[in-house]
Chain A
Amino acid sequence: GAGVSQSPSNKVTEKGKDVELRCDPISGHTALYWYRQRLGQGLEFLIYFQGNSAPDKSGLPSDRFSAERTGESVSTLTIQRTQQEDSAVYLCASSLDRGELFFGEGSRLTVL
């Protein structure tokens, strides 16, 4: 596709439910990132995939968070047993090389 695509764009869920967020990166981009942006705050690094290397999971806030990526294509971010503090915009970005990131529109998650 022309850009990074994320779905759903909006998700409202109840506390304790699991949610899955999807990211379709730009075709051919080897690197894929997930960030979290809480209201009025900066981008919090979650996880980074680079080609076939082991992902950098150092930003995942707890074991309720996990992410997968199939080859150099789609990635899913899963949040289990959601909590109210998980409410945020989850941003996905992809990159070919040299660090320039192309961001999606984000998935806004609201946990009631």
Chain B
Amino acid sequence: AQSVSQHNHHVILSEAASLELGCNYSYGGTVNLFWYVQYPGQHLQLLLKYFSGDPLVKGIKGFEAEFIKSKFSFNLRKPSVQWSDTAEYFCAVTISSASKIIFGSGTRLSIRP
């Protein structure tokens, strides 16, 4: 069964710092990968997704993620964070478009203004 690991539970950065949040999954076959974000007081929403093709995926608000198959990783990056990026970030994986989506435990990102 597939699983997702997010090793950073809480990350604290200053504005303009660069961000990288780790995500590793365990499944040997073809996967679809996602990053979701939950801003304070709001519901979860999709940040970006990877199904196939270019392993560098660009999402909303300047976020991007790189799929590295050999490392079973899908890390989220942003070159310069803003205070408004304060949120909880969840990585997720599914082995096909018709199977369940499994989420990681989440990483809380706090940005100091």
Contact = CB atoms under 8 A, between A and B. Distances in A.
Contact of A99 (B6, B43, B101, B103): B101
Nearest to B43: A103
Q: In which size bucket is the chain A interface?
A: 20 to 34
A43 B32 CA distance: 18
A97 B97 contact: yes
Contacts of B94: 99
Contacts of B43: 91, 103-106
B34 interface: yes
B72 interface: no
A82 interface: no
Interface residues of B, number: 23
Interface in B63-113: 90, 94, 97-106
A43 B97 CA distance: 19
B51 A103 contact: no
A108 to B, nearest CB: 13
Nearest to B88: A42
A58 B100 CA distance: 10
Interface of B: 1, 6, 32, 34, 36, 43-46, 49, 51, 90, 94, 97-106
Counting from the closest, the 9 A-B pairs by CB-CB distance are A42-B105, A43-B103, A48-B100, A103-B44, A42-B106, A103-B43, A98-B97, A56-B100, A99-B32
